[in-house]
């Protein structure tokens, strides 16, 4: 989720194409992709040759015209200049820069697959360099499931341009035509003899050649892909299995001290009297630091409170436990999520603001042969990555350097500049590995905290959020109340559909008093509904935010898909029809849909609707695939049920079928999940399947157990298990994924498996038991096992 998608925070993260760094990079583009200078000779044994000794190229001995600037600085997606992305060392090591944050989606591997394929690099020589936060890389906000979509084109160009320059360098050396030379697996060969030149040997000469323009670059035919769309193993996992690699919480700097923070329980609560004598008496505690009180809007400010600084994390935690603070109530002191739910449900009963309109829903409903209506509720959620937020900051005079598990190092840098009033040029932000993120780590408030404390302490400071901090002081997935109504004709066919959705918008975190759901959020599963009935209306109702509202894996798609796909099954039931057949009827004939034609302002995930239309044929296809995989319609044991849901999000199409087994005592287990994905071109099918499993389980965890509530303005939950998440024994026993083979433009895979999970589950529970769940979570935190209320089970 991009902030500018929802119409707030203008500017901040846009690339500034003109500037000192851009110029230095332009210069780099001609010279920069060679590292190291020691002379050596490469010995390569070739098939058919007893021995071939590759001559060492002296690039300075070859006359070449001075090359001009890179013509690839502004291609689709940004700068594709090879030197920005690729450095080849003399030993043949290929260093590929990854400007997106690695958080388990295997973006290191996927970005490298794209570059290395077009480059014809030897995969065993590939290494990753994690980029710092800088505009030169273009968008770095690793959010919105779009790393591949945004970068596929330009990274292919960068790799192919480099391959062509290496090939041309060999041609120059051999005094042949480039067309007589070809590159493969890190070596250039020619059609006249059996000589070869290695990339490491050619790199310096190639660096002096003109970077080709886009029209002169030939990317590979997909049939020749060597790494793209292949199950290339992850580049990070070997280190992970040895406990290596640096997450944000693992950063260590000489002289570093450790901090945890006691924050006001309420958003915009203030720090009153502080008694820290007992804190300072804890062995290892060094000092306390008062942070400035936060003021609306929340933005990415630090939340205020008192930091406890110590010689290790444990001493800091003990010091915080001993701290006494008189917190002063703020404007959210009265927030009670239970009472607020009631208010939102009342709002959902009243007419709202029309956000998309087809035909006349009011008359369609009043003339319908049969009408149904249903109300749905979904609570606040916490992202809860296994690595809680953690950041290290170090000042050197007026220069600030930070190391942190951030999804968007550029926004982090901008935020630090804005809030600490320092020139961005004096700030360096290094993204570490992220131990999960799910949207939490695109909010850099924790880096601001580290910078503020480090400034006060005069040493490098690592701020660690404990799990309690993460659960109680987050940027929460929004709470929502929705109402749907449908009118059907005498054959059970849906003729009118009304969807009204009420939720505090993410914008409330950024604009004081903002209570109107934004077009971006409405376009996540509400205004983009793909149904074909003649009368359709989507409305929104206003709601104020009282916690920091943020984005969480798949964002508003979670509650919208839950309501819409549950209601589709409710319509099927009312019509006496099969869920899957009725769903296909609702979707209707093969066509493309532009919600803009029906009055919606539809961002389409920041993509053009022409390039990425809403295609109903792709929805229908994945529905049929998932149903076939699950053997939809088969005889099931007593207490079992299959449920289906389909949803397009992040430009991908996913249908999920879930089987549940409900015991006589209400015990609920999930014997199987079958999922069909159409994400267009998929870079790594194995890793895409992992995201399908992960995204689905994330959705099931939320639906079964997830609930953040607030009382007197403060979040009630504090750690596992009061904030409960799904565990191994509760995971589905079987999970099958099929991916549509496609060369269509690449779409997202990190988030779109989450939305259909909850409605597929509740639709399955309905088919197993006759019990319709309209309020989440299904089980909640306190159940000792997966169980439904016994009286509800059939």
Partner 1 sequence: MATTLNINGKDETIDAAPGTPLLWVLRDHLKMTGTKFGCGVAQCGACTVHVDGAPTRSCITAHDSLDGAKVTTIEGVQGRAADAIREVWVKNDVPQCGYCQSGQIMAATALLAENSSPSDEDIDAAMSGNICRCATYMSIRRAIKEAASEV
Residue 456 burial class via C-beta count within 10 angstroms: exposed 0-12, middle 13-18, buried 19 and up? middle
Q: Pick one of 686, 771, 772, 774: the residue that binds partner 1 (CB under 8 A).
A: 686
Based on CB atoms, which residue is closest to partner 1, 732 or 748? 732
Q: Using only C-alpha atoms, what is the Rg of the chain?
A: 28
Based on CB atoms, which residue is closest to partner 1, 8 or 692? 692
Based on CB atoms, which residue is closest to partner 1, 462 or 640? 462
Q: Does position 110 bind partner 1 by CB under 8 A?
A: no
Map the footprint of partner 1 across residues 448-507, applying CB under 8 A.
464, 466-468
Least distance to partner 1, CB of residue 462, Å? 9
Q: How far apart are CA 725 and CA 434, in angstroms?
A: 19
Q: How far apart are CA 116 and CA 227, in angstroms?
A: 7
Based on CB atoms, which residue is closest to partner 1, 499 or 689? 689
Q: Residue 721, preceding bond cis, omega within 30 degrees?
A: yes
Q: Does position 128 bind partner 1 by CB under 8 A?
A: no
Least distance to partner 1, CB of residue 555, Å? 17
Q: Does position 81 bind partner 1 by CB under 8 A?
A: no
C-alpha dihedral, 205 to 209 to 213 to 218, nearest 10°: -40
Beta pairing partners, 648: 653
Q: Are 403 and 392 in contact (CB under 8 A)?
A: yes
Q: How far is CA 230 from CA 105, 328, 683, in A?
A: 15, 57, 7
Q: Which two tokens stand for residue 613?
A: 């239309």
Least distance to partner 1, CB of residue 693, Å? 6
Based on CB atoms, which residue is closest to partner 1, 240 or 794? 240
Q: How far apart are CA 67 and CA 447, in angstroms?
A: 42
Least distance to partner 1, CB of residue 557, Å? 18
Q: How far is CA 288 from CA 37, 312, 322, 465, in A?
A: 50, 14, 12, 16
Site string for partner 1, 271-290 (x = CB under 8 A): ------------xx------
Site string for partner 1, 185-214 (x = CB under 8 A): ------------------------------
Q: How far apart are CA 640 and CA 442, in angstroms?
A: 40
Q: Where are the beta strands (DSSP E) in 554-595?
A: 592-593
Sign of CA dihedral 304, 310, 315, 319: negative
Q: Does position 780 bind partner 1 by CB under 8 A?
A: no
Q: Pick one of 562, 698, 705, 766: the residue that binds partner 1 (CB under 8 A).
A: 698
Q: Which of these segments, 37-45, 345-353, 380-388, 452-460, binds partner 1 (CB under 8 A)?
A: 380-388
Based on CB atoms, which residue is closest to partner 1, 297 or 388? 388
C-alpha 308: how far from chain center? 32
Which spans in 68-146 are helix H? 82-85, 107-119
Least distance to partner 1, CB of residue 290, Å? 24
Report the DSSP pairing between strands 592-593 and 614-615. Answer: antiparallel
Q: Pick one of 10, 43, 729, 789: the residue that binds partner 1 (CB under 8 A).
A: 729
Q: Does position 255 bind partner 1 by CB under 8 A?
A: no
Q: Pick one of 17, 23, 240, 664: the residue that binds partner 1 (CB under 8 A).
A: 240
- Binding residue count for partner 1, defined by CB under 8 A: 68
Q: Where are the beta strands (DSSP E) in 24-138?
A: 34-35, 42-44, 52-54, 86-89, 94-98, 126-130
Least distance to partner 1, CB of residue 249, Å? 6
Based on CB atoms, which residue is closest to partner 1, 352 or 732? 732
Q: Which of these segments, 30-38, 288-296, 652-660, 726-734, binds partner 1 (CB under 8 A)?
A: 726-734
Q: Which two tokens stand for residue 570?
A: 């409710």
Tell the residue number behind the tokens 């430009």, with chain if given: 651
Q: Does position 40 bind partner 1 by CB under 8 A?
A: no
Least distance to partner 1, CB of residue 236, Å? 6
Least distance to partner 1, CB of residue 315, Å? 6
Q: How far apart are CA 326 and CA 334, in angstroms?
A: 18
Q: How far apart are CA 545 and CA 191, in angstroms?
A: 68
Q: Pick one of 438, 567, 602, 653: the residue that binds partner 1 (CB under 8 A).
A: 438
Q: Does position 690 bind partner 1 by CB under 8 A?
A: yes
Based on CB atoms, which residue is closest to partner 1, 630 or 726? 726
Based on CB atoms, which residue is closest to partner 1, 157 or 381? 381
Q: Pick one of 696, 717, 767, 793: the residue that binds partner 1 (CB under 8 A).
A: 696
Site string for partner 1, 381-400 (x = CB under 8 A): ---xxxxx------------
Q: Is 458 helix (H, G, I), strand (E, B) or coil?
A: coil
Q: Does position 443 bind partner 1 by CB under 8 A?
A: no
Q: Does position 787 bind partner 1 by CB under 8 A?
A: no
Q: How far is CA 354 from CA 211, 532, 537, 544, in A?
A: 51, 18, 7, 19
Phi, psi at residue 557, to the nearest 5°?
-55, -30
Least distance to partner 1, CB of residue 231, Å? 8
Q: Does position 765 bind partner 1 by CB under 8 A?
A: no
Q: Which of these segments, 16-24, 25-33, 429-437, 554-562, binds partner 1 (CB under 8 A)?
A: 429-437
- The residues, any chain, with a CB within 8 Å of residue 224's CB and separated by 6 or more, are none
Q: Does position 434 bind partner 1 by CB under 8 A?
A: yes
Q: Pick one of 339, 720, 741, 770: the residue that binds partner 1 (CB under 8 A).
A: 720
Q: Does position 120 bind partner 1 by CB under 8 A?
A: no
Q: Does position 145 bind partner 1 by CB under 8 A?
A: no
Q: Pick one of 16, 58, 224, 244: the residue that binds partner 1 (CB under 8 A).
A: 244
Map the footprint of partner 1 across residues 561-600, applying CB under 8 A.
none
Q: Where are the beta strands (DSSP E) in 241-389?
A: 257-262, 270-275, 285-291, 305-310, 324-328, 353-358, 370-378
Q: Which two tokens stand for residue 560?
A: 């919208």
Q: How far apart are CA 750 and CA 104, in angstroms?
A: 9
Least distance to partner 1, CB of residue 313, Å? 5
Q: Is 640 helix (H, G, I), strand (E, B) or coil?
A: strand
Q: Pick one of 148, 267, 463, 697: the residue that binds partner 1 (CB under 8 A).
A: 697
Q: Pick one of 17, 49, 62, 237: the residue that binds partner 1 (CB under 8 A).
A: 237
Q: Are 338 and 486 in contact (CB under 8 A)?
A: no
Least distance to partner 1, CB of residue 688, Å? 12
Across the beta sheet with 494-502, the strand order is 353-358, 535-541, 494-502, 480-488, 370-378
Least distance to partner 1, CB of residue 227, Å? 15
Least distance to partner 1, CB of residue 687, Å? 7
Q: Which two tokens stand for residue 222?
A: 């997909």
Q: Does position 671 bind partner 1 by CB under 8 A?
A: no
Q: How far apart are CA 288 and CA 637, in angstroms?
A: 62
Least distance to partner 1, CB of residue 258, Å? 6
Q: Which two tokens stand for residue 680?
A: 């267009």
Q: Pick one of 20, 175, 242, 791: the residue that binds partner 1 (CB under 8 A).
A: 242
C-alpha 756: how far from chain center? 17
User: What is the CB neighbour count within 10 angstroms for residue 733?
Assistant: 11
Report the DSSP pairing between strands 324-328 and 305-310. Answer: unpaired
Based on CB atoms, which residue is closest to partner 1, 107 or 169? 107
Q: Does position 641 bind partner 1 by CB under 8 A?
A: no
Based on CB atoms, which residue is closest to partner 1, 529 or 675? 675
User: What is the CB neighbour count within 10 angstroms for residue 49?
Assistant: 11
Which residues make up the interface to partner 1 (CB under 8 A)? 102-106, 233-234, 236-238, 240-247, 249-250, 252, 258, 283-284, 311-315, 317-318, 384-388, 433-438, 464, 466-468, 686-687, 690, 693-694, 696-698, 701, 719-721, 725-733, 735
């Amino acid at each position: 989720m991009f902030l500018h998608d929802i119409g707030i925070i203008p500017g901040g993260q846009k690339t500034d194409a003109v500037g000192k760094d851009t110029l230095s990079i332009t210069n780099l583009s001609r010279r920069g992709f060679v590292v190291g200078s020691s002379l050596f000779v490469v010995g390569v044994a070739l098939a058919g040759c007893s021995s071939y000794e590759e001559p060492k190229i002296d690039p300075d001995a070859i006359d070449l015209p001075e090359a001009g600037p890179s013509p690839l600085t502004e291609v689709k997606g940004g700068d594709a200049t090879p030197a920005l992305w690729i450095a080849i060392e003399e030993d043949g090591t290929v260093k590929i820069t990854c400007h997106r944050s690695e958080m388990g989606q295997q973006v290191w591997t996927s970005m490298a697959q794209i570059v290395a394929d077009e480059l014809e690099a030897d995969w065993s020589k590939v290494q990753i360099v994690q980029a710092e936060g800088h505009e030169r890389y273009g968008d770095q906000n690793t959010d919105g499931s779009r790393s591949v979509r945004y970068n596929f084109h330009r990274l292919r160009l960068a790799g192919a341009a480099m391959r062509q320059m290496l090939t041309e360098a060999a041609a120059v050396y051999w005094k042949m035509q480039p067309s007589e030379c070809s590159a493969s697996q890190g070596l250039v060969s020619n059609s006249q003899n059996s000589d070869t030149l290695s990339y490491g040997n050619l790199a310096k000469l190639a660096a002096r050649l003109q970077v080709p323009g886009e029209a002169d670059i030939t990317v590979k035919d997909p049939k020749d892909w060597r790494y793209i769309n292949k199950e290339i193993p992850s580049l990070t996992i070997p280190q992970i299995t040895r406990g290596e690699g640096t997450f944000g919480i693992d950063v260590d700097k000489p002289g570093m001290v450790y901090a945890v923070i006691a924050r006001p329980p309420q958003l915009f609560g203030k720090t009153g009297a502080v008694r820290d004598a007992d804190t300072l008496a804890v062995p290892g505690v060094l000092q306390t630091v008062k942070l400035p009180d936060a003021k609306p809007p929340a933005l990415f400010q630090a939340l205020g409170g008192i930091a406890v600084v110590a010689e290790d994390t444990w001493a800091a935690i003990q010091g915080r436990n001993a701290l006494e603070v008189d917190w002063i109530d703020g404007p959210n002191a009265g927030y009670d999520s239970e009472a607020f739910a009631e208010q939102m449900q009342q709002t959902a009963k009243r007419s709202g603001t029309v956000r998309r309109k087809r035909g006349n829903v009011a008359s369609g409903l009043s003339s319908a042969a049969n009408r149904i209506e249903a109300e749905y509720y979904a609570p606040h959620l916490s992202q809860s990555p296994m690595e809680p937020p953690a950041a290290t900051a170090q000042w050197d005079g007026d220069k600030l350097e930070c190391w942190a598990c951030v999804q968007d190092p550029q926004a982090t840098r901008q935020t630090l500049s804005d809030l600490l009033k320092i020139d961005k040029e004096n700030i360096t932000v290094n993204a570490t590995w992220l131990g999960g993120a799910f949207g939490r780590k695109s909010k850099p408030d924790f880096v601001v905290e580290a910078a503020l404390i480090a400034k006060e302490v005069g040493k490098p400071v690592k701020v660690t959020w404990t799990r309690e901090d993460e659960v109680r002081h987050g940027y929460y997935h929004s709470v929502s109340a929705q109402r749907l109504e449908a009118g059907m004709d005498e054959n059970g066919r849906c003729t009118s559909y009304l969807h009204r959705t009420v939720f505090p918008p993410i914008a409330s975190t950024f604009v004081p008093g903002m209570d109107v759901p934004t077009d971006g959020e409405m376009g996540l599963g509400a205004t983009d509904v793909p149904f074909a009935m003649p009368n359709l209306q989507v409305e929104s109702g206003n709601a104020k935010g009282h916690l920091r509202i943020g984005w969480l894996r798949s964002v508003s798609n979670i509650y919208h898909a839950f309501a819409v796909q549950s209601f589709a099954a409710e319509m099927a039931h009312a019509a006496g029809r099969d869920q899957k057949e009725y769903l296909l009827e609702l979707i209707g004939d093969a066509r493309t849909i532009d919600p803009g034609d029906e009055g919606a302002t539809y961002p389409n995930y920041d993509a053009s609707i022409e390039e990425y239309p809403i295609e109903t044929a792709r929805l229908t296809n994945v529905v049929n695939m998932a149903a076939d995989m699950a053997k939809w319609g088969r005889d099931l044991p007593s207490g079992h049920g299959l449920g289906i849901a389909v949803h397009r999000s992040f430009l991908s199409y996913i249908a999920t079928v879930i089987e549940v087994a409900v015991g006589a005592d209400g015990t609920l287990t999930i014997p199987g999940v079958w999922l069909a994905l159409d994400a267009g071109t998929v870079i790594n099918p194995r890793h895409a399947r992992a995201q399908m499993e992960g995204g689905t389980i994330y959705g099931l965890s939320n639906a079964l157990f997830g609930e953040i509530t607030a009382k007197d303005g403060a979040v009630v939950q504090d750690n596992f298990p009061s904030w409960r998440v799904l565990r191994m024994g509760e995971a589905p026993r079987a999970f099958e994924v099929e991916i549509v083979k496609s060369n269509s433009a690449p779409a997202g895979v990190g988030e779109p498996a989450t939305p259909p999970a909850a409605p597929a589950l509740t639709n399955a529970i309905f088919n197993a038991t006759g019990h319709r769940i309209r309020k989440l979570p299904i089980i909640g935190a306190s159940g000792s096992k997966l169980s439904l209320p016994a009286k509800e089970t059939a």
